[in-house]
Amino acid sequence: MSATVFASSALDALGDVADGATVMIGGFGPAGQPAELVVALLEQGASGLVVVSNNAGNGEDPLARLIQHGRVAKMVCSFPRQVDSWHFDAAYRSGAVELELVPQGSLAERIRAAGAGIGAFFTPTGFGTPLAEGKEHRRIEGVDQVLEYAIHADVALVRADRADGVGNLVYRKTARNFGPIMAAAARRSVAQVRDVVPVGALDPEAVVTPGIYVDAVVELTEVTSTEVTSTAGTSTVGAVAAGTEGLV
């Protein structure tokens, strides 16, 4: 993997995304969602996307709008249904978007496996449930287990707190969630960060995602998209997305 590129805008960092690409989008709800990179994806125009993300958008956030505008052919996620997931709900009910529902731990491990070069693994999670129907299973050490395949992606979009000059990343609190494993699982990984610091400024002991996994970084100091309040569902992510209305 070649050296990390530092881009001047989210769109430049995103680069070319082909129609039909598989795109991993980090975040657990708004926490850790790379909102500006998803806005760039809206702007960039790729369609027929397979999106791998824990949720399927909240309110008018950029992921929800990607779905609303018919750019997503399939969602791979664990928890699409939210009180404010109306764009996904409508697209799912109309058949416009296909859903592969995956238990959250299996989703995480399938992503991790891809990054680690593991083709598939057996896990007890889901055995005997509707989500294991049609899947190969085997009894291992006395426990029934389900075969789950790795999930690879063409592009991963993640949000970290800081990057250094070689693309090492550190995250902030529970916003870390899917970032490290998605960055490793995609052929091309793009990180938006609050701050880029010089090489040597991050404690090597504290680096969470080594720069080898990171292809492009964009510094977005004025990130307003993750502001939440204790009022459920309130988020200014919608304001960011609303700004892209003319683009799609």
Partner 1 sequence: MSALDTAARRSPLTRAQLAARVAADIDPGSYVNLGIGLPTLVADHLATASGIMLHTENGMLGMGPSPEPGAVDPDLVNAGKAPVTELPGASYFHQADSFAMMRGGHIDVCVLGAFQVSVSGDLANWSTGAPDAVPAVGGAMDLATGARRTVVMMSLLTKDGAPKLVERCTLPLTGVGCVSRVYTDLAVFDVGPDGAHVVETFGTTHRELEALLDLTLGPAPGRTR
User: Contact between 207 and partner 1 (CB under 8 A)?
Assistant: no
User: Contact between 111 and partner 1 (CB under 8 A)?
Assistant: yes
Residues 136-165 that bind partner 1 (CB under 8 A): 144
Q: What are phi and psi for residue 65, nearest 5 degrees? A: -75, -30
Mapped onto helix, strand or coil, the DSSP state of residue 239 is helix
Mapped onto helix, strand or coil, the DSSP state of residue 46 is coil
User: Contact between 81 and partner 1 (CB under 8 A)?
Assistant: yes
User: Contact between 32 and partner 1 (CB under 8 A)?
Assistant: yes
User: Contact between 180 and partner 1 (CB under 8 A)?
Assistant: yes
| Structure-token pair, residue 27 | 């975040």
User: Contact between 224 and partner 1 (CB under 8 A)?
Assistant: no
Q: How near is the Cβ of 194 to partner 1 at its closest, in Å?
A: 10
User: Contact between 168 and partner 1 (CB under 8 A)?
Assistant: no
Stretch that binds partner 1, among 34-42, 45-53, 61-69, 80-88 (CB under 8 A): 80-88
Q: How near is the Cβ of 243 to partner 1 at its closest, in Å?
A: 19
- Supply the Cα-derived Rg of the chain in whole angstroms: 18
Q: How near is the Cβ of 159 to partner 1 at its closest, in Å?
A: 10
HSE, CB side, 13 Å, CA atoms: give it for residue 124: 6
Question: Binder to partner 1 among 57, 103, 167, 211 (CB under 8 A)?
Answer: 103
- Binding string, residues 184-203; x marks residues near partner 1 by CB under 8 A: --------------------
User: Contact between 94 and partner 1 (CB under 8 A)?
Assistant: no
Question: In whole angstroms, how far apart are CA 89 and each of 169, 179, 231?
Answer: 34, 25, 22
Question: Binder to partner 1 among 22, 53, 68, 85 (CB under 8 A)?
Answer: 85
Number of residues interacting with partner 1: please give it, by CB under 8 A.
55
The gap between the terminal CA atoms of the chain, to the nearest Å, is 33
Q: How near is the Cβ of 123 to partner 1 at its closest, in Å?
A: 7
Q: How near is the Cβ of 104 to partner 1 at its closest, in Å?
A: 4
| Structure-token pair, residue 159 | 């949000």
Whether the Cβ atoms of residue 26 and residue 33 lie closer than 8 Å to each other = yes
What one-letter code names the amino acid at 88?
F
Quickly list H helices, the chain.
10-14, 35-44, 62-68, 86-93, 104-116, 179-185, 237-242
**H-helix or E-strand spanning residue 217:** strand 216-219
Mapped onto helix, strand or coil, the DSSP state of residue 143 is strand
User: Contact between 177 and partner 1 (CB under 8 A)?
Assistant: yes
Site residues for partner 1 per CB under 8 A = 28-32, 54, 78-81, 85, 88-89, 92-93, 99, 101-109, 111-112, 123-131, 144, 171-181, 208, 226-230, 232
